C-alpha cells in the first residue's frame, strides 16, 4: 500500500457531533469538551456553527463558545452557512471558517433554503471576503457520494463544482459523505480522479458511519493520497436535513487505526478517552464508538479482578 506517513485530523464533534443531539449541552460543558480536545494534541477543531439558532438550537451559544476558547493554542473553525453567519462569526472573534453547500440541489434547498448554484455563488463571495480578512478557510461540499433525495451524484457534476472553486482560489476542499452511503471503491475512485485533475488542492474527507464503512473508507482515502480527514469524538453526529444519516467516524477510532498502521496524528488516545467520558456523562448513555465500548468492557472486567 502507498500510504501517507502522517495525517491531519480536524475535530468536528463540538459542531457536527452536538448539532444533532436530542438536547442542548450546557455552554460550560461544551467549553470543557473543547478544552479537553485541545489538550489531546488536535491542532484544529470546528467548535460551532453560526447557523441561525432557530434551525440549529443546540448551537445557539456559538458566540459564547468561540469567546471562551479562542485563546487555546489550536486553530478554531466555525461552520458558516451564509453572509449573516460570517458577520456573526467575525464579531465573535473566530479566526477560521468552514463554508459549506451541497452538490445536490434537493439537499441544499432543505439544508440552506436555496439552490446549489445560489449557495455556490455566495460561498465564493464569502471566501473572497474571508481571504481579505486573513481568516483560515476551507470549503466543504456535502452529498458528494450520494444524496438522500436524489441518490447518486454524478462525478462529472462534482468535478464541475470543484473546478469553479479552484478557479476562484479555493485550495482546501472537503468531500463529504453526508449520509454515509459511500463504499471504499467509490471513495478511492473519486479521490484519485479529483486529485489528478487538481493536484495543488488539499482535499479532505468527511465520512459518516451509517453503514459501518467509515474506517474502510478512510483506508481507501489514504490509498488515494488523502491525508486530511474530519472526525467527531465519540462518533456523534448526523445531519438534521439528511434522513437516515448517523454519526461521523469517531476520532478515537480513526486515531487508533492510524496509530496501529504507524501513521502519525500527534493525538493522545488517553485524552480522547477523557473527552469521550465527558460526552457519555452528559448524555447519560454510552457512545457509538467501538473504541469507547471496548474501553468500558475493559474497565468493567478490571473491576471484577
Where do the H-state alpha helices sit in 25-154? 27-39, 62-69, 83-92, 105-112, 116-132
CA–CA separation, 220 vs 223, rounded Å? 5
Residue with cell 467549553: 31
In this structure, which topology does domain 8-304 adopt according to CATH? TIM Barrel (3.20.20)
End-to-end Cα, the chain, rounded Å: 41
Total-model pTM: 0.95
Q: In this predicted model, what pLDDT tens digit does every residue of 87-142 receive, in sequence order?
A: 999 999 999 999 999 999 999 998 888 999 999 999 999 999 999 999 999 999 99
* List 176, 191, 239, 303, catalytic entry: 239
CA–CA separation, 132 vs 23, rounded Å? 37
- Polymer length in residues for the chain: 305
Instruction: Tell me how crowded residue 270 is: count the other CB atoms within 10 A of its CB.
Output: 7
Q: Is 123 a catalytic residue?
A: no
CA–CA separation, 128 vs 170, rounded Å? 9
Which positions ≥6 away from 181 have C-beta within 8 Å? 145, 146, 210, 211
Along the 305 residues of the chain, how does pLDDT read in single tens digits? 789 999 999 999 999 999 989 899 999 999 999 999 999 999 999 999 999 999 899 999 999 999 999 999 999 999 998 999 999 999 999 999 999 999 999 999 988 889 999 999 999 999 999 999 999 999 999 999 999 999 999 999 999 999 999 999 999 999 999 999 999 999 999 999 999 999 999 999 999 999 999 999 999 999 999 999 999 999 998 766 666 667 899 999 999 999 999 999 999 999 999 999 999 999 998 888 989 888 887 755 555 55
Amino acid at each position: 500500500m502507498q500510504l501517507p506517513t502522517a495525517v491531519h485530523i480536524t475535530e468536528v464533534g463540538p459542531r457536527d457531533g452536538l448539532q444533532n443531539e436530542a438536547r442542548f449541552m450546557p455552554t460550560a460543558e461544551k467549553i470543557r469538551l473543547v478544552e479537553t480536545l485541545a489538550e489531546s494534541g488536535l491542532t484544529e477543531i470546528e467548535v460551532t456553527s453560526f447557523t441561525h439558532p432557530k434551525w440549529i438550537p443546540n448551537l445557539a451559544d456559538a458566540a459564547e463558545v468561540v469567546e471562551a476558547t479562542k485563546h487555546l493554542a489550536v486553530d478554531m473553525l466555525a461552520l458558516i452557512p451564509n453572509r449573516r453567519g460570517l458577520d456573526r462569526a467575525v464579531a465573535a472573534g473566530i479566526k477560521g471558517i468552514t463554508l459549506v453547500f451541497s452538490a445536490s440541489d434537493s439537499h441544499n434547498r432543505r439544508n440552506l433554503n436555496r439552490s446549489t448554484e445560489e449557495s455556490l455563488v455566495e460561498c465564493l463571495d464569502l471566501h473572497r471576503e474571508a481571504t481579505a480578512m486573513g481568516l483560515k478557510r476551507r470549503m466543504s461540499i456535502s452529498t458528494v457520494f450520494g444524496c438522500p433525495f436524489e441518490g447518486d451524484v454524478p462525478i462529472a457534476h462534482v468535478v464541475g463544482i470543484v473546478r469553479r472553486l479552484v478557479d476562484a482560489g479555493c485550495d482546501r476542499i472537503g468531500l463529504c459523505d453526508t449520509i454515509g452511503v459511500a463504499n471504499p471503491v467509490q471513495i478511492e475512485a473519486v479521490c484519485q480522479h479529483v486529485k489528478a485533475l487538481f493536484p495543488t488542492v488539499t482535499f479532505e474527507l468527511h465520512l459518516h458511519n451509517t453503514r459501518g464503512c467509515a474506517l474502510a473508507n478512510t483506508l481507501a482515502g489514504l490509498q488515494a493520497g488523502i491525508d486530511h480527514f474530519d472526525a467527531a469524538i465519540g462518533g456523534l453526529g448526523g445531519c438534521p436535513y439528511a434522513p437516515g444519516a448517523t454519526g461521523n467516524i469517531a476520532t478515537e477510532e480513526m486515531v487508533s487505526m492510524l496509530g496501529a498502521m504507524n501513521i502519525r496524528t500527534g493525538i493522545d488516545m488517553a485524552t480522547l478517552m477523557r473527552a469521550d467520558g465527558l460526552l457519555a456523562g452528559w448524555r447519560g448513555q454510552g457512545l457509538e464508538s467501538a473504541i469507547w465500548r471496548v474501553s468500558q468492557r475493559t474497565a468493567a472486567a478490571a473491576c471484577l479482578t
